[in-house]
A and B are shown apart, each in its own frame.
Chain A
Amino acid sequence: MIKIIDLVKSFNGQVVLDGINLEIPTGKITVVIGKSGVGKSVLLKHIPGLLKPDRGQVIIDDVDVAQARGRALMELKKRIAVLFQGGALFDSLTVFDNIAFPLREKTRLPETEIVRRTLERLEQMNLDPEVGNKLPDELSGGMKKRVALARAMIQEPEIILFDEPVTGLDPPMTNTVFHLITKTHQESSYTALIVSHDIPEVFGVADYVAMLHKGRIIAWGTPAEIQRHPDPMVQSFIHGEVDFLEV
């Protein structure tokens, strides 16, 4: 269970997260929705400790992420993988080396086993083994996302955080990525947090949905509950209505 308690974060005096309270259930897919620039990625980056909160806590199985140091922090990070918005593939390494990177750095597996596992992940993402020889720059956006997902999955993490996993992808590739997330989740039962503004696709993969607005969680529930939520802001967002306050 990931517990986010009274999380506050500001940048240059501007409050982005203003007392977030959220519980992310183990083994489920939770999606945080909200408009662009509302702080969804900022929220996500507090979970692996990439950002430190001004106030509040992120607790993963009784460990406060911001307070964890040394070995405890390393152990925590080994349990978490992040799929970044742009993939964050290392552009000096081939696709194969990108996927194998966590195994080479953090395990003592023999190279034959690393090769086997890496090829297995490529296949799981419906990627040809030949793709392994390419550099990230030679891939399409959708392929980059699949390679990044393969890299995130290779250490079989307990928690995977997805930062806008389908941004910039065409509808078929969006469906492919969401299908892969669903498929890998069914196979591995990891805890997933997805931040996205892709409505209605996210409702198809989510067990729970939370809506972030003006630094706070204004709605939380199952996809069906969110779709029936009485808050006009939630309804306006999920129906894609023009926000006259923002125009």
Chain B
Amino acid sequence: MIPDFVRLLGRTILNLIQEAGAMILFLLEGLGLAFLPPFRWARFLEEIRLIGVKSTLIIILTAAFAGMVLALQGYYTLRKYGSESALGSAVALSLIREMGPVLTGIMVSARAGSAVTAEIGIMRITEQLDAMDTMAVNPMQYVVMPKLIAGLVAVPLLTAIFDVVGILGGYLVGVVMLGVSSGAYFSGMRESVVMLDVNGGIVKSLVFGLTVLLVACYKGYYTEHGAEGVSRATNQTVVLSAVLVLAWDYILTSFFM
């Protein structure tokens, strides 16, 4: 006799595996359609505007405060060891390796991911995707593919903006407010940041961008049960993509270490 909780655990794991498989197939189909005509440049640019450009302000705000708090924490920690001059490299490495890609991924998920899920979910429940299908227009190619590619392009660019603004935020607190030497702040950064750090950040941001948009599109595409279903799908998008971003971060960091 198998206890109920074991059965429940087994069922949950099987469902998770099934959903992960379905998401991978969804991703492969979506990306595969990018190589088949018609090539939807206008749709792609529109998605870059919605996912990338419209997220810029929130990324700048988040990055500025993240850089500022990093500098503040870093300064008082480093001062105990008389190493305030290493503040620039501490801020830059933290931002480029970890905080830039991770916080950008999470913020894009909160702002654009939820909007993407709601948009596609509403298209699903109001039969707009079915309407497209009956016009012999593949909704995966018209709606989903441009969003996936836009995520792949926009998130690394947003991450770069995040890194630069974060470093400037750290400069504001570390140099302007706490009196660390400006030369030490930037020269420490130049010495400690190597291409591997930058490449690692780029790889992470590519993976996070694709993950966030995949979850958002998938949850929207398979929305059911009306307005409540859209609300549930949107919620799941934000939670699942944040968890996946952090999980991917650990996996990728262990590869780059």
| One of B27-35, B123-131, B181-189 at the interface | B123-131
Proximity string of chain B (142-170) to chain A, C-beta cutoff 8 Å, 1 when within and 0 when not: 10000000000000000000000000000
A77–B134 touching, CB < 8 Å: yes
Interface residues in A71-115 by Cβ distance below 8 A to B read 74, 77-78, 80-82, 84-86, 88-91, 101-102, 105-106
In the bound complex, what is the Cα–Cα distance between A102 and B131 (angstroms)? 10
A-side contacts of B132, CB under 8 Å: 90
A84 touches B127 (CB 8 A): yes
Task: Let me know if B136 and A50 touch, CB within 8 A.
Answer: no
Assess whether A48 is interfacial by the CB under 8 Å rule.
yes
Choose one: A50, A77, A91, A105; the contact of B128 (CB below 8 Å): A91
Residues B38-74 near A (CB distance < 8 A): 38
Residues of B within 8 A of A82 (CB): 130-131, 134
Q: Are A88 and B135 in contact (CB under 8 A)?
A: no
Closest residue on chain A to residue B136 by CB atoms: A77
Contact: A84 with B136, CB < 8 Å? no
Contact of B134 among A81, A85, A89 (CB under 8 A): A81
Contact of A88 among B38, B126, B136, B142 (CB under 8 A): B126
Chain B residue numbers with a CB within 8 Å of A48 are: 133-134
Alpha-carbon distance between A131 and B122 when the two chains are bound, in angstroms: 23
In the complex, residue of chain B having the shortest beta-carbon distance to the beta carbon of A77: B136
Contacts of B130 in A (CB 8 A): 45, 50, 82, 84, 88
With both beta carbons as reference points, the residue of chain B lying nearest to A83 in the complex is identified as: B131
Interface assignment of B227: CB less than 8 Å from any CB of chain A: no
Give CA–CA (A48, B131) in the complex, Å.
10
Contact residues in B for A101 (Cβ distance below 8 Å): 135, 137
What's the Cα separation between A80 and B131 when bound, in Å?
Answer: 11
**Complex Cα spacing A204 to B230, Å:** 39
Contacts of B122 in A (CB 8 A): 91
**What is the distance, in angstroms, from A87's C-beta to the closest C-beta of chain B?**
8
Within 8 A of B (CB), among A143-195: 155
Residues in B neighbouring A88, C-beta threshold 8 A: 126-128, 130-131
In the complex, which of the residues B126, B127, B133, B135 contacts A102, with contact meaning CB atoms closer than 8 Å?
B135
Number of B residues, CB within 8 Å of A:
15
Check B127 against A105 for contact (C-beta < 8 Å). no
Q: Is the CB of A86 within 8 A of B135?
A: no
A167 to chain B, nearest CB (A): 13
Complex Cα spacing A77 to B137, Å: 9
A105-B137 contact given A86-B127, A88-B128, CB 8 Å threshold: yes
Within 8 A of B (CB), among A39-53: 45, 48, 50
User: Which residue in B131, B133, B137 is a CB contact (below 8 Å) of A106?
Assistant: B137
- Which residues of B from 179 to 213 have beta carbons under 8 Å from A? none
Residues of chain B with a CB closer than 8 A to A74's CB: 136
Contacts of B136 in A (CB 8 A): 74, 77-78, 105-106
In angstroms, Cα B38 to Cα A45, docked, is: 26
A22 to B67, CA, bound (A): 68
A90 with B133: CB separation less than 8 A? no
- Cross-chain contact of A85 among B38, B123, B127, B142 (Cβ < 8 A): B127
CA distance A50 to B135 in the complex (A): 11
CB distance from A124 to the nearest CB of B (A): 19
- CB-defined contacts of A85 to chain B, threshold 8 Å: 127
- Give chain B residues whose Cβ lies under 8 Å from the Cβ of A105: 38, 135-137, 142
Question: Hey, which chain B residues are within 8 Å of A50, CB to CB?
Answer: 130, 133-134
A52–chain B nearest beta-carbon distance, Å: 13
Which single residue of chain A is at the shortest CB-CB distance from B46?
A: A92
Q: How far is the CA of A81 from the CA of B128 in the complex (A)?
A: 13
Q: How far is A101 from B142 in the complex, measured between Cα atoms in Å?
A: 12
Min Cβ gap B135→A in Å is 5
6 contacts between A and B (CB under 8 A): A86-B126, A86-B127, A91-B126, A102-B135, A105-B137, A155-B135
Q: A84-B130, A102-B135, A105-B142 are in contact. List 8 more A-B contacts (CB 8 A).
A: A50-B133, A77-B134, A77-B135, A80-B134, A82-B134, A88-B126, A101-B135, A105-B38
Q: Which 6 A-B pairs have the closest CB atoms?
A: A88-B131, A77-B136, A88-B127, A84-B127, A82-B134, A48-B134
Which residues of A are at the interface with B, using a C-beta cutoff of 8 A?
45, 48, 50, 74, 77-78, 80-82, 84-86, 88-91, 101-102, 105-106, 155
